[in-house]
Amino acid sequence: MTEETGRADFMSMTPEELEEFVTTLGEKPYRAGQLFSWMAKGAPIEEMTNLPASFRKKLAEAGEYRLPVIEKKLVSRIDGTIKYLFSLCDGECVESVFMRYEHGTSLCVSSQAGCAMGCRFCASTLNGRVRNLTASEILGQAAAAARDTGERVDGIVMMGIGEPLDNYDNVIRFLRLVSDPRGMGIGLRHISLSTCGLVPRILELAGEGLPVTLSVSLHAPDDETRSALMPVNRRYNVASLLEACRTYFEKTGRRVSFEYTLIAGKNDGREEAGRLASVLKNGMRCPCHVNLILLNEVAETGLSTPDRGRAEEFRRELERRGVNATIRRRLGSDINASCGQLRLQRLAEKNKPAPVS
């Protein structure tokens, strides 16, 4: 049930829960499967033509089914990447990015409106966290993108706005829904979840039986540098984080990948590359991979990005010390495809005083 309306948020339900729900509406259980597969396509109720009209009417009355609405859509002229700004039922906005690679398509989804983690370089956290997204609001981004593009979403990355492990229950539910073969059927091995490092939740995730790829935002090799960039490090330090990553690998067999955003003069020196290689080798003692990301500059933070040559040097130093690393290709650079910035723009527009006429 949604809190405000008391109506059932049936897109957040598993097929089994849906069976119960449709039964209470006086329908045969098999209708649940039909409904579940329509929702995975992002179809509005009136298009669910194999459901009786009387049932569709009941659904519209008893249920809460509002797919994210496309507020803004930017298409990259360079590589066709699409950035969506979606509005939700209460007017909150979140972003998703649809990317095409040689091996398939991938959608980056948001898990919260805003973020409470306070990372110094990030646009999504500048105004704090407004609320968690429901499972249906996360799933809805994927269904709406599939419907809009007419393409299958082959993979999901949870790297949009929000800290997914700070919205744990809804995110776990989303993972079960989106991977269900009766719906979107996106394999868990094609799903990556990115976290700033909420250690107890990483350990909990390791026990869920959901073999998603864990991406950990490390961004610094030592506690002093990391705490200055990411306040979460004061709660869970680098050593405890790496220990949790190792447990994740041991329990799921999935290689952990690390994100390391290079910020000029803060964490991008050769010395840091050396320290990073040694903490990963000593702390992980298992396969891992480092994704280097050039900082996407956010005016409010005052931080700047190093040049490509410096990033390349950092990568070479890691490789020289036996750590696999790649510099992340930037898709959609002409549409500012990294997350949080469109939402921020929209907030600023809303708060702007009305022009005096």
Closest CA to 47 of 186, 140, 147: 147
Task: Please give the structure tokens belonging to residue 19.
Answer: 């069976």
Q: In whole angstroms, what is the distance from residue 131 CA to residue 138 CA?
A: 13
- The residue range among 179-187, 193-201, 204-212, 239-247 that interacts with ligand SAH, by the rule CB under 6 A, is 193-201
Nearest approach, Cβ of residue 147 and ligand SAH (Å): 25
119 binds ligand SAH (CB under 6 A): yes
Closest CA to 127 of 115, 142, 139, 110: 115
Nearest approach, Cβ of residue 217 and ligand SAH (Å): 3
Query: Any catalytic annotation for residue 151?
Result: no
Q: How many chain residues interact with ligand SAH (CB under 6 A)?
A: 17
- Segment 261-280, which members bind ligand SAH (CB under 6 A)? 261
Q: Which of 8, 13, 32, 122 binds ligand SAH (CB under 6 A)?
A: 122
Beta-carbon-side half-sphere exposure of residue 137 (alpha carbons within 13 Å) = 22
- The residue range among 2-10, 32-40, 295-303, 342-350 that interacts with ligand SAH, by the rule CB under 6 A, is 295-303
192 binds ligand SAH (CB under 6 A): no
Closer to ligand SAH by Cβ: residue 89 or 138: 138
- Segment 11-40, which members bind ligand SAH (CB under 6 A)? none
Q: Which of 171, 220, 293, 318 binds ligand SAH (CB under 6 A)?
A: 293
Query: Any catalytic annotation for residue 4?
Result: no
Q: Which of 159, 184, 273, 344 binds ligand SAH (CB under 6 A)?
A: 159
- Segment 125-144, which members bind ligand SAH (CB under 6 A)? none
Nearest approach, Cβ of residue 164 and ligand SAH (Å): 6
- Segment 195-254, which members bind ligand SAH (CB under 6 A)? 195-196, 217
Q: Are 116 and 125 within 8 A, CB to CB?
A: yes
Q: Which of 27, 95, 137, 272 is catalytic?
A: 95
Q: Which of 259, 268, 272, 317 binds ligand SAH (CB under 6 A)?
A: 259
Q: In whole angstroms, what is the distance from residue 154 CA to residue 10 CA?
A: 24
Q: In whole angstroms, what is the distance from residue 179 CA to residue 297 CA?
A: 34
Task: Specify whether the backbone of 107 is left (phi greater than 0), alpha (psi in -120 to 50) or beta.
Answer: beta
Task: Please give the structure tokens belonging to residue 238.
Answer: 């680098």
CB atoms within 10 A of CB 328: 13
Q: In whole angstroms, what is the distance from residue 135 CA to residue 173 CA?
A: 6
Q: In whole angstroms, what is the distance from residue 50 CA to residue 43 CA?
A: 12
- In the three-class reduction of DSSP (H, G, I as helix; E, B as strand; rest coil), residue 325 is classed as strand
- The residue range among 173-181, 250-258, 274-282, 291-299 that interacts with ligand SAH, by the rule CB under 6 A, is 291-299
Angle CA 161–169–164, to nearest 5: 20
Q: In whole angstroms, what is the distance from residue 221 CA to residue 229 CA?
A: 11
Q: Which of 35, 171, 244, 298 binds ligand SAH (CB under 6 A)?
A: 298
Integer CA distances (angstroms), 128 to 119, 158, 230, 351, in order: 11, 19, 14, 16
Q: In whole angstroms, what is the distance from residue 68 CA to residue 139 CA?
A: 10
Closer to ligand SAH by Cβ: residue 89 or 205: 205
Closer to ligand SAH by Cβ: residue 51 or 159: 159
- The residue range among 177-185, 202-210, 220-228, 290-298 that interacts with ligand SAH, by the rule CB under 6 A, is 290-298
Return residues touching ligand SAH (CB under 6 A).
Answer: 119, 121-122, 159, 163, 194-196, 217, 259, 261, 293, 295-296, 298, 338-339
Enzyme catalytic residues: 95, 339
